Structure 1
Amino acid sequence: MNLLRRPFQIIRADPRAYLLINALAYGTLLLGMALALIFPDLHAARTSSFVDGGQGALVDTVIGSPWIFGATIFLVNVFATALPLIVLPSLVIPFAGLVVFVIKTIDIGILLAPVDRTSALILIPHSLTMLIEFQAYALVMFGAYLLGRSWLRPATVGATTRRQAYVRGLGRLGRLWLAALALFVIGAVYEAVEIYFLVPLVLGA
C-alpha cells in the first residue's frame, strides 16, 4: 500500500504543478484535434501516413488477438512513448521530455480528431482510453518536471548539491512511474475491450 500511497503524497505536495501538467497534456491533445478539424487535409495526411507506415502494419499484425493487442498497446505506451519521449530527454536536459511529448501529443490529436461521423462515434468509447492513458502520461510528465526542478533548484528537495537533488528527483519520478504503469495496464485492457466489443457496438448502432 505504501508504494501506491507515495505517488499521491508527491502530488499533494505540489497540486498546482500537477494540475498545470494535466492542463498541458489534455489541452495539447485538444489543440491537435482542433487543428485537424480546421485543416482536414492535415488529418487525412496523418491518417494516410499511419496506415501506410510501420504503426499501421503493427496494428494489422496484432489485431487478431485481444491479448496480444492489449499487450502491444501497453508496450507501445511505455517503451515507445513515455520512456523515450518523456523520461530519457528529461534525464539529460531539464524539462526536455515535456516539450517532446507536447509535440507528439499534437500529432496524436490530429490523428484521433472526430472529422467525420465514423471517427466521432469511435471517439465515444475511445474517450475513456485517452483519459486513462493521458493521465498516465501526465504522471510521467509530472515526474519529469519534478526532476528538472530538483536539478535546477536543489533547495526544493532539501538538497545541498545538484547531484543529490538529481537523485532525489529520480526517486520521485520512479514513484510516480509506479502509478503510471498501473494506469497503462488499465488503459491497455480497456482499449482491447473497446476495440473488440464497444467500437463494433457503437458503429452498428
Structure 2
Amino acid sequence: MRLIRHVVQTVQANRRPYLVLNALLYGSVLLGFGAGLLFPSLTAAQLDSLEASGTGDLIRSLLANPWLFALVILANNALRAGLLNLVLPSMIVPFAGIVWYVYTLFTVGLLLAPVDRDGWLTLIPHSLTVVMEVQAYVLLSLGVYLLGRAWIWPRTVGAENRRQAYVRGLRQLGVLSLPALALLVVFALYEALSVIYLVPLLTEG
C-alpha cells in the first residue's frame, strides 16, 4: 500500500508531464493506426519486415505453449522495449528514450491497422492490451522525465549537485518502474491467452 500511495503521489505531483506523456504516447499509436488505414502499404511493409526478421515464425512456434509465449512477450516488452529502448538511453542522454519511443509506438500503430475483417475482430481483445501496455510505458516515461529533469535542474529535487540529483531521479524512476512492470506482466499473460484462445473464436468462420 505504501508503494501504491507513493506512485499516486508522484503522478499527482507531476500531473502536467504525466498528461503530456499520455497524449504523446497514445497519440503516436493513433497516428500510426490512422496512417496504416490511409496507406495500407505502410502496414504491409511493417508486416513483411516482421516476417523477414523471423518474428512471424517465432510467434507461430510459440502458440502451442501459452506460458512460454507470455514469457517471450514479457521479455520483449519489459527488457527490449522498456529497458533497452526507453530507460537505458535516457540514463545516458536525458529524455532520449522518450523521443525514440514516440517513433516506436507510431510503428506499433501501423502494425495494428486492420487490413481485413479478421484484423478488425482481433482488435476487440487486443485493444485492451495496447491501452494497458502503453500505460506502462507512460509510467516509465514519467520516470525517465523525472530523472532527466533532476539531472538537468538539481534544485527540482532539492539536490546540491547533479550527482546527488541523478541518484534521486533514479529512485523516482525505480518507484514508477514497479507498477509499470506489474502491468506488463499481467498483460503479457492476457495477450498470450487472448491470441491463442480468444482471437481464433472471434475470427473463425
TM-score class, shorter: over 0.9
Contact 1:150 1:169 in 2 (8 A): yes
CA distance in 2, matches of 1:174, 1:182: 13
Count of residues in correspondence between the two structures: 205
Number of the residue aligned with 1:128: 128
Query: Which residues of structure 2 form unaligned runs of 5+?
Result: none
SS of alignment partner, residue 114 of structure 1:
coil
Give the CA deviation at 1:67.
Answer: 0.6
Q: Distance in 2 between matches of 1:58 and 1:200?
A: 18
Please give the alpha-carbon distance, in whole angstroms, between the structure 1 residues aligned to 2:65 and 2:7: 33
Shift in Å, 1:39: 1.2
Q: Tell me which residue corresponds to 2:74.
A: 74
2:2 counterpart residue number: 2
* Deviations 1:146-185, CA, capped at 9 Å, x for gaps: 1111111111111121111111100000000000010001
Q: Percent identity?
A: 49
Q: Which runs of 5+ in 1 are unaligned?
A: none
1:36-58 Cα shifts (integer Å, max 9, x gaps) = 11211111111111123132232
SS in 2 for 1:106: helix
* Alignment check: 8 A CA contact 2:63 2:196 kept: no
CA RMSD of aligned residues (A): 1.2
The aligned residue for residue 42 of structure 2 is: 42
Note the C-alpha offset of 1:71.
1.0
Q: 1:191 aligns to what?
A: 191
Report how far residue 193 of structure 1 moved: 2.1
- The DSSP-based 3-state class of the residue aligned with 1:159 is coil
C-alpha separation between the residues in 2 aligned to 1:60 and 1:117?
20
Which 4+ stretches in 1 moved above 6 angstroms? none
How many angstroms apart in 2 are the aligned matches of 1:56 and 1:6? 40
SS at match of 1:124: helix
**Hey, what does 2:171 align to over in structure 1?**
171
TM-score in terms of structure 2 length: 0.96
In structure 2, what is the Cα distance between the partners aligned to 1:144 and 1:82?
A: 11
